[in-house]
């Protein structure tokens, strides 16, 4: 288990840092990036017990950079946002004006083109709860993240009067906020994954630097190369840059320490600059490397699919209809990774993506690498779930897939400081060289 020793934070003063609340926080990818950009986390709202356990493990109670300054008036536990608003509306009112940033991404399953895209999915209306929280806390800045499908119109009748949720969100925020939005691809900001997401930034009228709002995303691009160089990241890492040290043929295997009957990937050390950056000096093997238990016939099928996809040049895209037919597969969304490009968008279904060289699906850690989570970041809860439980639980694979890549979130966080007229934080401008000194291992 990894913990952070808050006593080694030197002269860092949380009181000088702008504050944020993370809504629909998941496992904490957005929070990690914001904290590393010099933001102070007040608290996080996440209803799933597994995701909240991951959040609490990596952001423990205390006064350190990675801790939340959880207000005593709100119980530190998993919260459904509707329940929080119902039971703590008065307590939340007391926090009005003390929150600099309200950040979050309402659950995206109902909007996603990769899913059933149901206009009546009750999760689609969670952005209403987000807006209610905005009206209570009156933050100086709002940040909303969602899938690209958030901007695509539904049938206005079937969706109870809201044809386009992104436009409806803008209309609701417009009286109080200057706004700018864009579809951002994570691989344009040093993340080895071609992940496209919608981001909306809003600055409260009468606050900060409204002149910087229209150029927000241009400013991110302008500062990107210097940021990545300072952190030791390559400009556009590939899937192999991210994962080659976790190839079984290189690292070998060992019994999984937490799952009897499973093997896990062993570890020999980084093989690329991206991997060095992900290690951050962490001196233990990465966790969450449990391998799937594929039957021999499944491994043979995967090997044939990988070989055929390479021969046909169909990498990072769904395998061909002919190949599915040859192997008796009904599943359409199966892709073989291209080792020389960023990976496709990872999903919560492990069998959506096959390794570029080995006949297997990816581990939680490999997906986390593609999301830019550092190797010390550990995940909690079940690895996977199925059936009716999929609507009720958020296991590790789903936690990783749903997260905002921390490396992208950090760059967003630095530019958000500029909206408030604050200088960009130099807390991590030289990389995270001080982090390993603050990492302790518990038996």
What is the CB neighbour count within 10 angstroms for residue 137? Answer: 21
End-to-end C-alpha distance for the chain, whole angstroms: 7
Nearest to 186 by CA among 156, 149, 223, 224: 224
The rounded distance, in Å, linking the Cα atoms of 54 and 106 is 19
Please check whether residue 371 is in contact with residue 28, taking contact to mean a CB–CB distance below 8 angstroms: no
Q: Which one of the listed residues 27, 108, 256, 415 is annotated catalytic?
A: 108
Dihedral angle of Cα 136, 167, 390, 380, to the nearest 10 degrees: -50
The rounded distance, in Å, linking the Cα atoms of 94 and 90 is 7
Exposure string over 375-404, b if 16+ CB within 10 A, otherwise e: bbbbbbbebbbeeeeeeebbbbbbbbbbbb
The rounded distance, in Å, linking the Cα atoms of 106 and 133 is 12
The torsion angles phi and psi of 41, rounded to 5 degrees, stand at -80, 125
- Characterize the bridge pairing of strands 141-147 and 40-45: unpaired
Please check whether residue 437 is in contact with residue 8, taking contact to mean a CB–CB distance below 8 angstroms: yes
Catalytic residue check, 108 = yes
Active site residues: 108
């Amino acid at each position: 288990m990894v913990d952070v020793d808050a006593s080694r934070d030197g002269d860092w003063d949380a009181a000088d840092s702008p504050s944020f609340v993370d809504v629909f926080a998941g496992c904490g990818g957005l929070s990690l990036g914001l904290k590393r950009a010099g933001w102070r986390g007040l608290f996080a709202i996440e209803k799933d017990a597994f995701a909240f356990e991951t959040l609490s493990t990596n952001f423990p109670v205390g006064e350190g950079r990675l801790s939340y300054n959880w207000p005593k008036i709100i119980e530190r536990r998993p919260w459904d946002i509707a329940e929080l608003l119902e039971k703590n509306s008065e307590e939340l009112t007391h926090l009005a004006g003390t929150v600099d940033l309200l950040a979050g991404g309402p659950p995206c399953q109902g909007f996603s083109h990769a899913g059933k895209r149901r206009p009546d999915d009750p999760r689609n209306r969670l952005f209403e709860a987000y807006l209610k929280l905005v009206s209570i806390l009156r933050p100086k800045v709002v940040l909303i993240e969602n899938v690209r499908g958030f901007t695509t119109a539904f049938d206005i009748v079937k969706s109870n009067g809201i044809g386009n949720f992104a436009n409806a969100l803008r209309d609701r925020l417009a009286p109080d906020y200057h706004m700018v939005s864009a579809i951002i691809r994570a691989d344009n900001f040093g993340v080895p994954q071609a992940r496209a997401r919608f981001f909306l930034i809003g600055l409260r009228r009468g606050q900060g630097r409204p002149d910087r709002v229209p150029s927000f995303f241009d400013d991110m691009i302008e500062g990107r190369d210097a940021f990545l160089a300072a952190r030791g990241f390559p400009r556009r890492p590939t899937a192999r840059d991210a994962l080659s040290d976790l190839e079984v043929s290189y690292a070998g295997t060992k019994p999984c320490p937490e799952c009897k009957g499973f093997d896990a990937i062993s570890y020999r050390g980084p093989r690329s600059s991206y991997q060095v950056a992900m290690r951050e000096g962490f001196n233990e093997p990465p966790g969450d490397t449990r391998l799937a238990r594929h039957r021999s016939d499944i491994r043979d099928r995967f090997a044939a699919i990988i070989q055929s996809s390479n021969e046909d040049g169909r990498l990072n895209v769904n395998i061909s209809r002919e190949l599915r037919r040859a192997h008796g597969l009904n599943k359409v969304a199966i892709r073989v990774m291209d080792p020389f490009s960023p990976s496709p968008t990872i999903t919560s279904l492990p069998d959506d993506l096959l390794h570029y060289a080995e006949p297997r699906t990816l581990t939680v850690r490999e997906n986390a690498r593609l999301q830019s989570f550092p190797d010390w970041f550990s995940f909690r809860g079940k690895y996977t779930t199925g059936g009716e439980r999929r609507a009720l639980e958020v296991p590790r694979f789903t936690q990783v897939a749903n997260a905002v890549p921390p490396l992208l979130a950090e760059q967003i966080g630095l530019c958000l400081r500029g909206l408030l007229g604050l200088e960009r934080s130099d807390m991590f401008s030289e990389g995270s060289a001080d982090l390993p000194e603050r990492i302790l291992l518990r038996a």
